[in-house]
Structure 1
Amino acid sequence: MDVDLRKLRYFVAVAEELHFGRAAARLHIAQPVLSRQIRALEGELRAQLFVRDKRSTSLTEAGRQLLEDARPLLASASALRRRVATADRGTFTVAFMPGITVTDAVGSFSSRHPDVTVELLRTTWADQTEVLHDGRADVSVVRLPVDRRGLSVRPLFGEPRVAVLRADHRLAGKESVLVGDLADEHLLNDPDAVPEWRDVAVELRDGTASRWQEFRSVEEKLEHVAAGRGIAVIPLSTSEYYTRPDVAHVPVEDLPPNEVCVAWVAARRSPLIFEFAELLRSV
């Protein structure tokens, strides 16, 4: 039996809304049509997916299992369509993190493949591998740590990390600092990205840490540093690229280098991917 992806999309909408009316509105279809499609899916799978009464809709155990499996399946199907479309257009997309330049590799690649259009996609900590899984990028130059599941990851280089402080901060102007010198500070990074700080952080020990905020860009994070809301730890190249007078950059001596790698979906066997990865490693 082949599972209809359209019915799966309908199912996920109902499972997320737990309300047939809202799900129908979200899908821009009539509620009776949605109900029929869900009943048809239940018939095909020979399993009840929802328990419905006049007051509520809830998932059965089979429904919960299907929701868990359907989301990555739909994401893979969407990524497949996107990759096929970009291949048809003759494009190759390279994603990269702030502070990283891919100019030399892109130039060499383009000279070898003048019929291929190289597109560039800037990423963040939040989506640097997501762009691979959803098909937006063919390769991604990432900064570790990342979730490596389903990916091939090859090292490129490492670079020192610096603490970014407000210009009038007590540590600004020092030649370097240690992680222990930052123990009293509020870190604007995800603590898991700087485990050495997490191990000594006062705000984590005494439970006064505020909820970590996800930033969409380096510029946004630097605005918070300049406003005195905390400090950040970023790679040296990123700090040099985003220079501004109201923040200071101080090397952190006892932090290991930030590792930069090239990553792609492991199941893909495109010669262009392997060639571009080798170009990155050579330059």
Structure 2
Amino acid sequence: MTGSEDRPSFRLAYVPGVTPDKWARIWHERLPDVPLSLTQVPAAGADGVLLDGDADAGLVRLPVDRTRLSAIPLYTETTVVVIPKDHVVTAADEVTAEDLADEIVLHPLDDVLGWEERPPGRPALERPATTADAVELVAAGIGVLLMPLSLARLHHRKDLTYRTVTDAPQSGVALSWPEDAHTDRVEDLIGIVRGRTVNSTRGRRPDPAPAARKPAAGKQQTGKQQSGKQQTGKQQTGGARRGGGTPRKKSGSGGGRGKPRRR
């Protein structure tokens, strides 16, 4: 890991659907002297932004090029199907891919679910250029669309809703950065997204602990210590009086008066 960055600010890229607001707020609280620059980039172009040096780190969708990029998976999103509010699918709380077999399922060119072959259902005549274009087609009643939940919320419309698809591929989100640029600032961001406290030293060189102070020679004892010793001495003296010395004899014998002598 290298030392502190030469740049005065830290550049964080993020893909659509990811909301870095919480982490950005913590960054500003912990590193007020290091401005954080946020830039949204297309999901498909996130790797290139990092490798070209246009960002110091990125909140990206998996997979990434692990030969040149490091990545820490953060979470996996639920996949939903976006449908018109009056669609028959809305009768269920969740559906399977088989339930969509008779539907035209749109497959935009910027899809992030990574289907091994193609989405379920019947394909449209053409693939929409973007997810936003596909959402417009769903609103027009042309088909349905599967996407991560965060994107469904990002493209929310009053005339559309969504339902969870239990067996569809899911999209994972990760923090990523170039392997040869693992700086102290990157480590700071790792700590933030992983929920480390501000005093955590993991990954950073901890400050040397101050040497423990030894009491000075001949230092007077505290009042409590002196009081304790005095009390101990009194207890010992009392014990000596009770169990120690010879008891004093009482005057007279038997406690009664003797007989008078005869004259």
The TM-score bracket by the shorter chain reads 0.5 to 0.7
Q: CA, structure 1 residues 232+160, in 2 after alignment: closer, same or farther (shift >3 Å)?
A: same
Q: CA deviation at 1:200?
A: 4.5
2:43–2:112 CA contact under 8 A, matched in 1: no
Q: From 34, 41, 61, give the equivalent of 1:143.
A: 61
2:14–2:59 CA contact under 8 A, matched in 1: yes
What SS is found at the alignment partner of 1:262? strand
Q: Could you say which residue in structure 2 is the equivalent of 1:270?
A: 183
Equivalent runs, 1:52-91 vs 2, <5 Å: 90-91=8-9
State TM-score, norm by structure 1.
Answer: 0.58
Q: CA deviation at 1:226?
A: 1.2
Stretches of structure 1 that go unaligned for 5 or more consecutive residues are: 1-86, 204-208
Task: Name the structure, 1 or 2, with higher relative contact order (CA <8 Å, separation 6+).
Answer: 2
Stretch of structure 1 that moved more, 153-162 or 169-178: 169-178
> Runs in 1 of length 4+ with deviation above 6 angstroms?
none
CA–CA distance in 2 between the matches of 1:94 and 1:257? Answer: 24
Q: CA deviation at 1:192?
A: 7.6
What is the total number of aligned residue pairs between the two structures? Answer: 190
Identity %: 32
Q: Could you say which residue in structure 2 is the equivalent of 1:28?
A: none
What SS is found at the alignment partner of 2:59? strand
Q: Could you say which residue in structure 2 is the equivalent of 1:222?
A: 135
Q: Could you say which residue in structure 2 is the equivalent of 1:213?
A: 128
Q: CA, structure 1 residues 199+186, in 2 after alignment: closer, same or farther (shift >3 Å)?
A: closer
Q: Deviations over 1:152-199 (max 9, x none)?
A: 011111121101123343323431111122234232334783426727
Q: Deviations over 1:27-48 (max 9, x none)?
A: xxxxxxxxxxxxxxxxxxxxxx
1:187 equivalent in alignment to 2:102: no
Q: Could you say which residue in structure 2 is the equivalent of 1:129?
A: 47
1:102 equivalent in alignment to 2:15: no
Q: Deviations over 1:50-79 (max 9, x none)?
A: xxxxxxxxxxxxxxxxxxxxxxxxxxxxxx
Q: From 125, 146, 149, give the equivalent of 1:233.
A: 146
What SS is found at the alignment partner of 2:193? helix
CA–CA distance in 2 between the matches of 1:193 and 1:161? Answer: 8
Q: Deviations over 1:207-248 (max 9, x none)?
A: xx5443331xx5444223212343222222332343211212
2:57–2:177 CA contact under 8 A, matched in 1: yes
State TM-score, norm by structure 2.
Answer: 0.62
CA RMSD of aligned residues (A): 2.7
Amino acid at match of 1:160: T
Q: From 57, 64, 74, give the equivalent of 1:156.
A: 74
Q: CA, structure 1 residues 89+266, in 2 after alignment: closer, same or farther (shift >3 Å)?
A: closer
Q: CA deviation at 1:251?
A: 0.6
Q: CA deviation at 1:201?
A: 4.5
Q: Indicate the structure with greater helix content.
A: 1
1:102–1:280 CA contact under 8 A, matched in 2: no
